[in-house]
A and B are shown apart, each in its own frame.
Chain A
Amino acid sequence: MPKDNLNQDNIEISRRKMMGLVVGVINLGLIGAIVGPMVGFAAAPLGNKRKSRWVELMDESRIKPGEVKEVNYSLLVVDGYHEVEQKFTVFLRRSEEDVICIDPACTHLGCRVDYHADQHKFICPCHGGVFDDEGTNKSGPPPKPLERHPVKIEAGKIWISREV
């Protein structure tokens, strides 16, 4: 108990405590008033949902069965405060039956894998992850196969869908 309160009555002490409490509550309110909106503002991008979009890539005839082809394309995407033409790369692999579309982002930490045609493998330059030509992880650190994008063939054109 503070010394200067010793000779005062209990009402005075509780009044002092009460005022201290109110100051504390106001201060907590002030902190909340700035920290709450601040966190919401900074975390706003968490609420953005991506939509999938179909993109026409190329003529079906330009890829032969057994072939793996690197395809670059660009899309107009919203990147924060501006719309940009963003470039993307995918690998198309055609087997006898169908065409699959493999995303080049390594499933380990997102470096871009290269296709080594002589070995029929995708190899990640960062940590040495190896995937077969269907994107299945074969060795190194990657925990799962390369991501695939849905493919459809309409009127001789190959389309893929991707989330942006």
Chain B
Amino acid sequence: MSQKTYKPKDAPTLSPEVKVDEPREAVSSEERLQIERPSLRDWMDLRLGWYGFVRKNLDEPMPAGVGWWQTLGNLLMTLLVFQFITGFALAMYYSPSPDSAHASVKHLTYEVGLGSFIRGLHSWGSTVIVIAVVLHMLRVFFWGSYKKPRELTWVVGVIIFQVILGFSFTGYLLPWDQKAYWATVVGTRIAATIPVVGHALLVFIRGGEEVGALTLTRFYSFHVMLLPASLILFTFLHLYLVRRHHIAGPVTPAKGAPVPFYPNQLFKDAIVLLFGVGLLIYLAVALPPGLEAIADPTGTDFSPRPEWYFLGLYELLKVMPSGWEVVATVIIPTGITIGMFALPWLDRSKSRHPAKRQWIIMSGFAAILLIGLMTLKGILETPPEHKKSEATLAGSSDIPKAEATQLESLGE
């Protein structure tokens, strides 16, 4: 009921002169029910109401000034669908056990036809998605589109962002190579820095004291069950809210009447999809995914580094003085996350114009600058592959390297 009467103050409406392809309800449902031999299209539509739904969405009014920046949501959703499909395909060949995970990834990458391409799409997809989601959020941030009545659209968006980070953290472990193993050892240890409950949380996340078989099954379960289910739920909620409140339009209303979503905006969307997905395919082909040596808890020739978008956090840990790591591991990330959730309520100004909400824009810039500089520092300081072997060489005259006393397994 309230749905019909609800209309946000700034909701765009199509003027009656705007030409859409066909009349929205040429023949009413009642009239069509009387048709004796309805066309398949009418038959289906009477039961599904599908054409009305599609029509309504294609005719969704776009305020003047909406354009390229509003294509990012569509790009993001398409990329997520790609992840869903390639993930489903990868799971056909993957085995989540320390005995077989590495071998199964090796097999699917190098021996299964198109394996390298499918895995490339999935692993590069995570990178392109992070870029797309950040751009999408920055657009909403600078346009102030999260303001009343779209607060919850933003909040649901932030939840989706967290779910995406969860995907990338859990997915990173699955190949069970050195990079995967050590990034997870360090990443999960972050939980242990939380006072009081830290250790219990660490054991809960790892499924034990060490990263092992139960960590792998746990991460796999989250990666293929809980996170996809949450993502689908929150994505539908997000889309519902976007349609309910309509597109916010530019900060200062542009001249001109709203136009329907189809064809102008959909065309722009398609162009962006062409380039976005084109880039993804290019990356998957040009830079096929690698696989390092199998996870080795004793490995010395490996310097753990996280995925590039967690490098900022990683560098922050480096600059924190001893005893202050909880600031970098918990307080700053939690603070930024709470700030993101609370943004619509922190920003009290009525106006969406950036000049009218300076401290919010400044705080946003500060956060972006901090994350950006730390990430840049991390990228610049990435040790060249052989930096470590030099160090090992320097000391090699003194240390009888791994003069291993490989003992037989000892029972109790």
Contacts and interface: CB of A to CB of B under 8 A. Distances in A.
A76 B411 contact: yes
Given A79-B213, A126-B303, A117 B399 contact: yes
A163 to B, nearest CB: 8
A126 B399 contact: no
B368 to A, nearest CB: 23
Contacts of B392: 114
30 contacts: A45-B203, A45-B214, A46-B200, A46-B204, A50-B209, A55-B410, A57-B405, A68-B399, A69-B403, A70-B399, A70-B403, A71-B405, A72-B402, A72-B405, A72-B406, A73-B405, A74-B406, A80-B212, A80-B214, A80-B217, A84-B98, A86-B297, A108-B317, A109-B189, A109-B325, A112-B300, A117-B398, A126-B318, A141-B320, A141-B321
Size category of the A interface is 35 or more
B185 A111 contact: yes
B53 to A, nearest CB: 31
A69 B399 contact: yes
B136 to A, nearest CB: 31
Given A73-B404, A108-B317, A143-B322, A118 B395 contact: yes
Given A71-B403, A79-B213, A137 B322 contact: yes
Interface string A36-59: 000000110110101101011110
B304 A111 contact: yes
Nearest to A163: B209
A112 B399 contact: no
A16 interface: no
A157 B340 CA distance: 59
Contact of A116 (B186, B322, B391, B400): B391
Interface residues on B, range: 35 or more
A128 interface: yes
Contacts of A51: 412
Most buried by A among B203, B298, B404: B298
Nearest to A39: B204
Interface of A: 42-43, 45-46, 48, 50-51, 53, 55-58, 62, 68-76, 79-82, 84-89, 108-112, 114-118, 123, 125-128, 137, 140-143, 163
Nearest to A54: B410
Q: Which of A51, A75, A87, A125 neighbours the largest number of chain B CB atoms within 10 Å of its CB? A: A125
A57 B404 CA distance: 9
B260 to A, nearest CB: 39
Contacts of A46: 200, 203-204
Given A80-B208, A81-B213, A108 B297 contact: no
B4 interface: no
B207 interface: yes
Contact of B204 (A42, A58, A126): A42
A115 B395 contact: yes
B323 interface: yes
B111 interface: no
Contacts of A75: 407, 409-410
Nearest to B405: A58
B388 interface: yes
Contacts of B203: 45-46
B401 interface: yes
